[in-house]
Amino acid sequence: MLNDINLEINDSEFFCLLGPSGAGKTTLLRIIAGVEAPTSGEVYFDDKLMNDIPPKDRNVSMMFQSYALFPHMTVFDNMAYPLRKRKMDEQEIRKIVESIADTLRIKHLLNRLPKQLSGGERQRVALGRALVIKPDVLLLDEPLTNLDAKLRVEMRAEFKRLSKELKTTIIYATPDQAEAMSVADRIAVMNLGVVQQVGSPDELYYTPKNIFVGVFVGSPAMNIIDCTFVESGDEACLDAGEFKYRLTKSMAEMIKDKTSSRELILGIRPEDITVSKEPREGMLMLEVFAYEAVKPDAIIDLKVGNKLVKALAPEWLVLNPGDKVWCGFNKFHIFDKRTGEILICGVKTHG
């Protein structure tokens, strides 16, 4: 399931594993925790080889997506469990558990059973149980997935705040790119068991390494337009059917350097398309297919040939299906269609 993962995570970093279901995030977390063994490869904490060390000796904490609360124990006992396993004095345990319960605002629930709690409360108990031992590494497996939207956004801020307070290394798995982008110091984007790219949120957004990362990060998603690299004599351009984009010589050289394929992909983010009702020179005329009146920026679907391209427009620009507008591409990326790899990033244009 996991293939050739090489990750280095820094001390006290808030590191995110971002990817769709089945990407391998949970598997990776479990390997770090020690409940699953890799077929080959090593896991190191600082310079210590952890492969043969059982989970209980690794000083990690994990919060499961299903919370995994012990149904037959009270909230207090659930949270006290890791401490009891470390043979701590009961007085000490009580102090620690109560203080953490206080921070997480679940102190009033200490005597309840998990089945008497709401989803949000259970989540906080699971988090509490993970925090009681001050772990070296805190692993969080999609902790917010089971919560409703509003709670999710609230808890995101909580996590950010918590991570500043604790000094532990946090590894956080999620399929939600907005979540990852907002909380993480660095993110590893994963798909189908392979790490696609590692970098800070900015790096992923501005310089995606391949189509997957480009499309996965950012919302609404990056538009993908097929085009062909055409050379005629001294001139080179990208032919996308509906329009052509003339390439500079250096760009053409770069492309030819990196790939022999002529099938390319133009990737452009909705926020990098300018839309105007008045015709402007050098801009492309496109027809509006649909208009979603979302705030703050409306999403416009534009017809390019027989495909749709999404663009953002400020709220004062009201459009109807069938309207003709003029669009400019401010910035886009060029990818190799066959391999998905980035060829040229961030091409800036005037239209």
Binding site for another protein (CB under 8 A): 30, 33-35, 37-42, 51-56, 58, 60-62, 64, 66, 68, 70-72, 81-82, 85-86, 129, 133
- Smallest separation (angstroms) from another protein to the CB of 191: 24
- Smallest separation (angstroms) from another protein to the CB of 51: 5
Residue whose CB is less far from another protein, 24 or 82:
82
Neighbours of 240 (CB within 10 A): 19
d(CA 104, CA 121): 9
Residue whose CB is less far from another protein, 38 or 120:
38
d(CA 39, CA 233): 53
Residue whose CB is less far from another protein, 4 or 202:
4
Residue whose CB is less far from another protein, 61 or 210:
61
Question: Which value, to the nearest 10 degrees, does the dihedral of the CA atoms of residues 233, 234, 236, 241 take?
Answer: -50
- Smallest separation (angstroms) from another protein to the CB of 1: 16
Q: In what order do the strands lie in the sheet with 186-191?
A: 60-63, 137-141, 169-174, 14-18, 186-191, 194-199
Instruction: Report yes or no: 334 and 255 within 8 Å, Cβ to Cβ.
Output: yes
Burial letters 19-30, b for 16+ CB under 10 A, else e: beeebbbbbbbb
Residue whose CB is less far from another protein, 52 or 202:
52
- Smallest separation (angstroms) from another protein to the CB of 11: 20
- Smallest separation (angstroms) from another protein to the CB of 84: 8
Name the token pair of 208: 């995606």
